[in-house]
């Protein structure tokens, strides 16, 4: 279901070097952690998915280490459990790139494909990576749902679709029906900080997944 190359190559370049600051940073990370992926992290999931989840960027000891979005650190625990509960995932945990997990009708990607220092990409880096996201969004059929995890992902999706932020404000649980035929649903990011401070609770996160499911299932 999820082949080794999950999306067409124009949506992802494993050797991309558009962002010199991130390329340098990754070289340093690779030197300190030789076992880490420490390179652009590809989208993961069903190439024909109607449900696309967009995160911010790989985490140092998560996706940057494992090479799979939201895998290896706290941020993925709730996400993959929710995907399993809602019927998108074949298992409740994502352990590593070769754990056999598959996603049905769902794909996960990041607005920025490379690890940024302190988890903070610069605006120019979000912009540089935006056309990969635009090409990935273009793969989605009308009626598909995009779940943006956090404001940066939300704004990156709008930018990739050529839409104004002022017309579609981020808000947890907000649902934006877009002219292009997609539905954008917002959620707070499932980061350790947000889940441990209670900004994002499990019932809140489950509610946005149920919302996304309803959108997918409605005509």
Residues binding ligand SF4 (CB under 6 A): 16-19, 22, 40, 112-114, 125, 128-129
Q: Which is nearer to ligand SF4, 40 or 45 (CB)?
A: 40
Instruction: Give CA–CA dist 128/141, Å, rounded.
Output: 25
Q: Which is nearer to ligand SF4, 66 or 211 (CB)?
A: 66
Under a CB-based contact definition with an 8 Å cutoff, are residues 170 and 164 in contact? no
Closest CB 131 distance from ligand SF4, rounded Å? 8
With tokens 């990576």, the residue in question is: 129
Under a CB-based contact definition with an 8 Å cutoff, are residues 199 and 184 in contact? no
Q: Which is nearer to ligand SF4, 1 or 27 (CB)?
A: 27
Q: Which is nearer to ligand SF4, 130 or 151 (CB)?
A: 130
Q: Which is nearer to ligand SF4, 78 or 112 (CB)?
A: 112
Closest CB 180 distance from ligand SF4, rounded Å? 23
Closest CB 137 distance from ligand SF4, rounded Å? 15
What letter does residue 166 receive in the DSSP assignment?
A: G
Closest CB 110 distance from ligand SF4, rounded Å? 9
Closest CB 8 distance from ligand SF4, rounded Å? 15
Helices (H), ranges, the chain: 20-32, 63-66, 75-85, 123-138, 151-160, 192-197, 202-217
Angle at 174 between CA 201 and CA 189, to 5 degrees: 40
Closest CB 113 distance from ligand SF4, rounded Å? 4
With tokens 């558009």, the residue in question is: 18
Q: How far is CA 123 from CA 56, 78, 129, in A?
A: 12, 28, 10
Q: Which is nearer to ligand SF4, 103 or 129 (CB)?
A: 129
Per DSSP, the three-state class of 145 is strand
């Amino acid at each position: 279901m999820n082949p080794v190359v999950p999306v067409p190559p124009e949506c992802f370049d494993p050797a991309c070097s558009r962002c010199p600051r991130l390329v340098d940073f990754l070289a340093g990370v690779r030197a300190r952690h030789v076992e880490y992926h420490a390179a652009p992290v590809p989208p993961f999931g069903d190439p024909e998915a109607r449900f696309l989840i967009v995160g911010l960027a790989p985490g140092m000891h998560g996706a940057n280490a494992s090479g799979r979005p939201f895998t290896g650190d706290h941020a993925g625990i709730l996400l993959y459990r929710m995907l399993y509960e809602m019927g998108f995932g074949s298992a409740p945990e994502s352990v590593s790139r070769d754990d056999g997990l598959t996603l049905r009708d769902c794909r996960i990607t990041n607005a920025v494909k490379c690890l940024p220092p302190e988890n903070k990409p610069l605006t120019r880096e979000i912009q540089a990576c935006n056309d990969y996201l635009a090409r990935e969004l273009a793969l989605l059929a009308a009626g598909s749902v995009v779940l943006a995890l956090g404001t940066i992902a939300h704004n990156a999706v709008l930018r990739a679709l050529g839409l104004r932020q002022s017309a579609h404000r981020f808000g947890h649980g907000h649902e934006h029906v877009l002219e292009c035929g997609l539905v954008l649903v917002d959620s707070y990011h499932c980061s350790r900080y947000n889940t441990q401070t209670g900004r994002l609770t499990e019932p809140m996160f489950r509610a946005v997944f149920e919302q996304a499911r309803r959108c997918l299932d409605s005509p």
